[in-house]
Amino acid sequence: MALDKFVDYVQLWQEKIFLGEEFLTWLWLCSEVDNNFVTQKGDNYEVWFENSLRLESGQGPTKRSVTCQNSNKDGSFEWAEAFTAVKMNKKVINARLRVRFEEREWSLTLPSDTLSPKSIKLLAGVDFKDENDAMATQAGTLIDRVVYFMELTQIIETLLGMFLKIRLSPDWAKEELPRLKGWISRWTGNED
Amino acid sequence: MSFAKGGATFTRYRITEEPVGGITEDFIAERLTANAFVDIEETSEESSVGWVQFFNHLNSTFPLQVWSFSELAVFTLRSDERKLPNKILNRYLAIAVARFTEETGRAPNSVKKKELKDALRHDLLRRSLLDTSLLEVIWLTKINEIWLGAAGEKNRALFEEAWLRTFGLGLKILVPITIGLEILKKPLQDRLMELSDTTIFGLSGH
């Protein structure tokens, strides 16, 4: 069986690989600007970017990467190096983040190329009940975990949808981009 | 780390076509059974790739109760491989050639040398350890979505080949662009397809 059933999507994926980078960069900046809240239609999604961000610019031989640590626990200038990297045209390609929606909370690593969650941990709102039957316990736990992972993928899709709608609207250039660039400039100390 | 325990990692796919007769429990079980993992522990085979049970990687039978849970179909792709480095094979071959020469008083010709090499390869492969890799798969049957419990190009390629061989159904990997096209409606879909890579947040951004 030929693998050409995948090829069209793989080619499109490679052509639009920048979408995930733009999305993760936007999500990180929004979480910084709006005190870790991303809101849509009355739903509040809390998003924290933790520990380290990997940013990149260029492709092939011109590719340049930097990993920025968030080591300052008091919250001041914690991402100064990352803000500077963004200003130098780098975009976020990998991030460790926490996401909270209603009573549930997840910790995960999100790569920009696939937005496939990695190393997911369920931090809150999870209750796995033990049962006597070994198989029932295994299957029951699996089903519960899949439900929580589905909720997480739905949240990622919701956040991506929010980004794409604003990215493709006239408000992007008129409002969103100036708002985010203004925030970057405040931290890097240079006004455009 | 797996879907059932620890920190999970997965890659998402959408099934893009249906088999004649639809996707039924019989279809899934029959395809899994036809492409089940074959144990090569006691043989000299170099590799074997096939399906085993999700919760028991030593069992490659598929009664309904071990793979169908609620609206999930779950199974694992097992790949066993044994490698024989050329360096080791050639070292053993040199010994075998020397022994043959001593015993017969003449060096082996090319046919005999190949015969010795094939026998050695068979013997050494049978004695070498198997390297096993396991890729968990969850099929969300209600929404035609597949989760591969792994990331990375090599794992994806191994799974995609096994998937097509087993089920013959097209898959679309769910990544930003394909998710975006599912979420958005026209004309935003068209605008998304036209969007190109720009320097958006940097000093020269637009």
Q: What ipTM was estimated for this complex?
A: 0.86
Full residue range of the structural domain in which residue B148 is found: 11-82+133-194
**Considering chain B, what is the average pLDDT of its residues?**
91
- The 3-state DSSP class for residue A55 equals strand
Distance CA B120, CA B19 (A): 46
Neighbours of B136 (CB within 10 A): 21
pLDDT at A103: 86
Q: What is the mean pLDDT of residues A170-180?
A: 88
Does the pLDDT value for residue B129 go beyond 60?
Answer: yes
According to DSSP, residue B54 is labeled S
Cβ contact B195–A16 (<8 Å): yes
Interval B131-154: pLDDT, tens: 999 999 999 999 999 999 999 999
Q: What is the mean pLDDT of residues B74-92?
A: 93
Neighbours of A102 (CB within 10 A): 11
Q: Which of A2, A18, A121 sits opposite B7 (nearest CB)?
A: A121
Question: Is B68 part of a structural domain of the chain?
Answer: yes
Interval A111-150: pLDDT, tens: 999 999 999 998 866 665 554 555 557 888 899 999 999 9
Residue A28: enclosing H or E segment and its boundaries? helix A18-33
Q: Is some CB atom of chain A closer than 8 A to the CB atom of B153?
A: no
Q: Is some CB atom of chain B closer than 8 A to the CB atom of A23?
A: yes
B68: chain A residues, CB-CB within 8 Å: none
Same domain, B108 and B182: no
Q: What is the mean pLDDT of residues A153-176?
A: 92
User: What is the pLDDT confidence band of residue B206, given thresholds at 50, 70 and 90?
Assistant: very low
Amino acid symbol at A20: G
Q: What is the mean pLDDT of residues B21-41?
A: 93
pLDDT at A57: 84
Query: What is the DSSP track for A63-76?
Result: -EEEEEE---TT-T
Structure tokens at B94: 């040199």
Same domain, B186 and B100: no
**Cβ–Cβ < 8 Å for A47, A98:** yes
Domain residue spans of chain A:
4-188
Neighbours of B76 (CB within 10 A): 22
**Considering chain A, what is the average pLDDT of its residues?**
82
Same domain, B170 and B150: yes
Question: Is B2 part of a structural domain of the chain?
Answer: no
User: What is the pLDDT confidence band of residue B186, given thresholds at 50, 70 and 90?
Assistant: confident
Total domains, chain B: 2
Q: Is some CB atom of chain A closer than 8 A to the CB atom of B142?
A: no
Same domain, B78 and B140: yes
User: What is the pLDDT confidence band of residue B30, given thresholds at 50, 70 and 90?
Assistant: very high
Same domain, B108 and B63: no
pLDDT at A125: 63
Q: Which of A32-36, A131-135, B40-44 has the lowest mean pLDDT?
A: A131-135
Does the pLDDT value for residue A60 go beyond 90?
Answer: no
User: What is the pLDDT confidence band of residue B51, given thresholds at 50, 70 and 90?
Assistant: very high
